[in-house]
Amino acid sequence: MAVFTTVRTQVQSGFSETDAHLEELVKNLPGYLGMDHAQTPGGLGITVSYFRDADALRQWRTTAEHRAAQKRGRADWYESYTLHVAKVERSRGFTRP
């Protein structure tokens, strides 16, 4: 999994379009399993992306459009971010009966 936390700048021109385009791209990547996203208004955003294995994540990291977006993110969109790549050891869930 990749855990991406972000604080955005005031400069958000092009962000939504790029975000939507990247979401379409990653959905078609073999080994992509899904994502969870939460955004505190005016505060922290967290995106958790799930991949089958390190190879799938590497594919995504090096996709040309994704690379370009990363560069644009550092230039314009993000005040700060952290990225943690981690191997899931166990998972559980709950849904109200």
Structure tokens at 3: 């855990």
Within positions 38 to 57, which residues make up the interface with a copy of itself, using CB under 8 A?
38-41, 43-46, 48
By the rule CB under 8 A, 20 interacts with a copy of itself: no
R_g (Cα) of the chain, nearest Å? 14
**Tokens coding 57:** 């994540």
* Closest distance of CB 58 from a copy of itself, Å: 12
d(CA 46, CA 12): 17
| Closer residue to a copy of itself in complex, CB, 65/79 | 79
Tokens of 42: 């005016």
Judged by the rule CB under 8 A, the positions of this chain that interact with a copy of itself are: 1, 3, 5, 9, 36-41, 43-46, 48, 74, 78-96
